[in-house]
């Protein structure tokens, strides 16, 4: 049998003891609660004191918007939704800013120290040139424009034969237009540059240049070397040009005139409509030919003969009538093959040497078609001469090889920059 359960004390018999024990526990509970609340009050007061002190130590805000930009920027970069895009935009912006600073601080001054034709126009802005003077050749549509370069020490510095892309700017509130033109001034002339441009009517670019007044500004872009002319590379060279192609002849003649050590003989056949009022004859051709009688020779071909003609013209000697034909070219230009006797010191002939002169042709397509063939309609925005099948005309029949003839012409390609 199990033990009997322990009997509980009788509250009546032990009433005083239980009451005293209850009061003692109640006092202990009240004491512990008051201590806890007192401790919480002390912590709260100390926290408020610290907050007051920290608030007093906080520096004064100088801007309620700008001062938060760094933290806002960092939060944006670390944002889970738009942080990637923000980082990419930041990298691209910094790269563009650094590139812009390097471009203006280093590349532009470095390029501006070079001649105009030797600058890399990917890293250099267009060159502004100011119109100083324009002179119309008497009795013709040719106009000589003389421009001032930005600085007195600037010069073109091109190698013949070269052209430059000219931008008209907003003349008379017209849209800007660009064309290729060949300068006629010497490449080492400082401070100025000249162009011989035909005043075509109608003409989009020439119409804009017609309204230019002294002090107006146009712009020069990149340069293009069309034909690689080298001193003394060939003893003789011929050039056939029309009225608008005179700029190439003037560029070569000015270059040869200023180079006394260049012994190349240049024979020019200049085509015009009438023998009276031939442009550039009195102002350029005659003086250059007089200074270099053994190196420069100019002959003229006209379509009609009038009652009067410019002085110094002798028919069948330096003046030819009618359309171009093989007889005119045979008289005016070097032959396809030249044979030279090489003599020793005692005067005896030692050997025979041969060379083929170079012939340059610059004119409209109608002239090129029967003289040497048109330029190629494909890729001729780079003045590509085309395949062998593009070379034709009576120059081929006369014995001139394809490598002897260089055609400038006017590009007809729809992508051409002309």
Q: Is the pLDDT of residue 60 over 80?
A: no
Q: Please report, for residues 90, 170, 389, the alpha-carbon distance to residue 366 in angstroms, rounded to integers and kept in the order given.
A: 58, 33, 18
Total of domains in the chain: 3
- Domain of residue 268, residue span: 236-407
Q: What is the pLDDT of residue 413?
A: 42
DSSP class of 183: B
pTM of structure: 0.73
Residue 69 has pLDDT above 90, yes or no: no
Dig out the tokens for 258 from the structure.
């200023």
Helix (H, G, I), strand (E, B) or coil at 365: helix
CATH for 161: 2.40.30.10
How far is 143 from 187, CA to CA, in rounded Å?
Answer: 20
The span from the CA of 174 to the CA of 194, in Å, is: 23
Q: Both ends of the chain: CA-CA distance in Å? A: 129
| Contact of 155 with 187, CB cutoff 8 Å | yes
Q: Are residues 260 and 356 in the same domain?
A: yes
Q: Are residues 183 and 100 in the same domain?
A: no
Computed from CA positions of residues 302, 306, 310, 312, in that sequence, does the dihedral angle turn out positive or negative?
A: positive
In a domain, 43, yes or no: no
The pLDDT of residue 268 is 94
pLDDT at 10: 53
Measured CA distances, 221 to 16, 112, 156 (Å): 117, 13, 12
pLDDT (tens digit per residue) in 80-95: 888 888 899 999 999 9
310 in the same domain as 370: yes
Q: What confidence tens digit (pLDDT) does each residue in 317-347 have?
A: 888 888 888 999 999 999 998 887 766 666 6
The answer to whether residues 252 and 135 belong to one domain is no
The answer to whether residue 3 sits within a structural domain is: no
- Domain shared by 242 and 368, yes or no: yes
Q: Is residue 41 part of a domain?
A: no
- Shared domain check, 284 and 152: no
Percent of the chain with pLDDT over 70: 80
pLDDT of residue 373: 84
- How far CA 148 is from CA of 142, 195, 232, 255, 340, in Å, comes to 20, 12, 32, 20, 46
Residue 265 sits in the same domain as residue 219: no
User: Tens digit of pLDDT for each residue in 258-291?
Assistant: 998 999 999 999 998 888 888 998 999 999 999 9
Euclidean distance between CA atoms 393 and 371, whole angstroms: 5
- Are 266 and 342 in the same domain? yes
């Amino acid at each position: 049998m199990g033990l009997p359960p322990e009997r509980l004390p009788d509250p009546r018999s032990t009433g005083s003891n239980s009451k005293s024990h209850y009061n003692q526990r109640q006092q202990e509970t009240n004491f512990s609660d008051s201590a806890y609340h007192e401790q919480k009050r002390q912590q709260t007061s100390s926290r408020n004191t610290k907050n007051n002190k920290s608030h007093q130590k906080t520096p004064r805000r100088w801007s309620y918007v700008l001062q938060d930009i760094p933290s806002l920027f960092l939060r944006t970069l670390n944002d889970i939704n738009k942080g990637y895009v923000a980082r990419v935009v930041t990298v691209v912006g910094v790269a563009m800013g650094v590139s812009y600073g390097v471009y203006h601080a280093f590349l532009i001054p470095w390029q501006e120290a070079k001649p105009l034709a030797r600058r890399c126009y990917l890293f250099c802005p267009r060159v502004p040139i100011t119109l100083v003077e324009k002179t119309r050749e008497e009795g013709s549509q040719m106009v000589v424009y003389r421009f001032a370069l930005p600085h007195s020490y600037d010069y073109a510095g091109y190698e013949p034969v070269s052209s430059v892309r000219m931008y008209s700017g907003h003349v008379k509130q017209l849209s800007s237009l660009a064309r290729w033109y060949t300068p006629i001034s010497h490449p080492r002339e400082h401070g100025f540059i000249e162009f011989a441009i035909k005043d075509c009517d109608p003409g989009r670019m020439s119409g804009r240049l017609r309204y230019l007044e002294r002090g107006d500004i146009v712009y020069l872009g990149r340069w293009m070397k069309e034909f690689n002319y080298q001193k003394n590379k060939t003893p003789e060279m011929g050039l056939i040009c029309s009225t608008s192609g005179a700029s190439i002849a003037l560029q070569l003649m000015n270059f040869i005139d200023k180079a006394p050590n260049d012994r190349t003989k240049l024979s020019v056949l200049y085509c015009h409509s009438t023998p009276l009022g031939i442009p550039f004859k009195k102002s350029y051709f005659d003086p250059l030919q007089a200074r270099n009688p053994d190196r420069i020779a100019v002959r003229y071909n006209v379509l009609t003969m009038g009652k009067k003609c410019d002085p110094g013209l002798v028919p069948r000697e330096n003046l030819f009538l009618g359309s171009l034909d093989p007889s005119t070219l045979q008289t005016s230009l070097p032959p396809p093959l030249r044979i030279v006797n090489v003599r020793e010191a005692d005067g005896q002939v030692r050997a025979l040497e041969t060379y083929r002169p170079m012939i340059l042709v610059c004119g409209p397509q109608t002239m090129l078609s029967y003289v040497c063939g048109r330029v190629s309609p494909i890729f001729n925005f780079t003045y590509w001469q085309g395949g062998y099948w593009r070379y034709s005309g009576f120059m081929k029949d006369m014995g001139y090889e394809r490598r002897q003839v260089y055609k400038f012409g006017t590009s007809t390609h729809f992508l051409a920059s002309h």
